[in-house]
Structure 1
C-alpha cells in the first residue's frame, strides 16, 4: 500500500479550538503523518473551509486558519472550499490528476460532514483512499459520542466500501513506500 499524497481536511482553529473528541491525540496523529510525508517527499495538501463573510470560517480570520501544529509549509498547496466536499470547485481533483496522484491518505475533520463527503467523492472520482485510525475526529452529538461516530464511519461506512481504514502505524509505514 504505497501512498501518493496526504490530504488534511479542515483542521482549522475554529474547529480544533472547540475541542472535538480526542482533539490532542488527533492533532498529534496528523502531525506524525504530516512529518513523515514531508520527510519522505510525499506531497502534503491542505483543505480549508471558507464559510464566507460573518462565518466562523471567514477567510482571513483566526478561526479560518489551519491549526499551528499542522500549518502548511511553503510550497504546500491549500485548497479553499465552500461545500462539504474537498473536491467540489476547489481545484483539488485537477491538481491530483495533473501530478498522477491516485493513492490518497486522508485525515482531518469532521467525520460525519466534510470528511465523509470528501472520502465518498474521492472514491467516486476513482481515487484509492486510505483513512488512518486516530487521524479523524468529530464532536459529540445528540446521537452518539464523537469517538463512537468516528468508529462507526470507519468500520461500517468507509472500510471496504469507499476507503481502506488502517491503523495509524500501518499508514505511517506506507508513507514513502512504492507500490
Structure 2
C-alpha cells in the first residue's frame, strides 16, 4: 500500500535539543523504518544543511542522522538547504525512479519542514500519510510542541493534504 518512507531532518543537533514526545517519536519512526525495510520498500532520508557554522553544517556531528535511526546502505540520502524537502533537491526524481505514489512522511519540525514538504508533495500529486506521533517539534513562545503537532495532524493536514492514521492502522495497512 505504501511506496516509500520519507524521514525528514531527524538529525543529531535537533534531537539533542529534546523535542516534545521525544521517546515516542523515535520509537514510532524506528517501527516505520523497520517495517519498510522488512517489506523491501524504500526509505529516503532528508538531511538539512544549514551552512557553514550552523549546528546542521554538512559533515558536522549535528548534521548526522540521529544514531537510533541511522540509515543503511540501501537507503536513499537527500540533502536540502530549504524547509521544503523538494526545493532544489533530487527528492522528486528519486520518488519518480521508484514510481512512488503513496508516501509516508515523518520527521522534524512539524510546523516548518514537515508542513511545507507535505504541501509540496500534495501539489506533486502524491498520496501522503502521516502516522500519528511520527512528527515532532519544540515548545515556543506561542504554543507547546505537542499542541502544535496535534494541530497540524488534525486541523491542517488530515483530509486536506494527507491522511493521518495511528501506528496500528499503519501496521494493518502494511500487512495487507
> What is the TM-score with the length of structure 1 in the denominator?
0.96
The CA RMSD over aligned residues, in Å, is 0.9
Counterparts of 1:1-179 in structure 2, within 5 Å, are 2-175=1-174, 177=176
SS of 1:63's partner is coil
Deviant stretches of 4+, over 3 Å:
none
Q: Structure 2 unaligned segments of length 5 or more: list them.
A: none
Count of residue correspondences: 176
For residues 7-36 of structure 1, the C-alpha deviation after alignment (integer angstroms, 9 at most, x for no partner) is 000000011110000111101110011011
Q: Distance in 1 between matches of 2:3 and 2:171?
A: 13
Q: Which has the higher contact order (CA 8 A, sep 6+)?
A: 1
Q: Structure 1 unaligned segments of length 5 or more: list them.
A: none
For residues 94-124 of structure 1, the C-alpha deviation after alignment (integer angstroms, 9 at most, x for no partner) is 1111221110011001000001010000001
Deviation at 1:147, TM superposition (A): 0.5
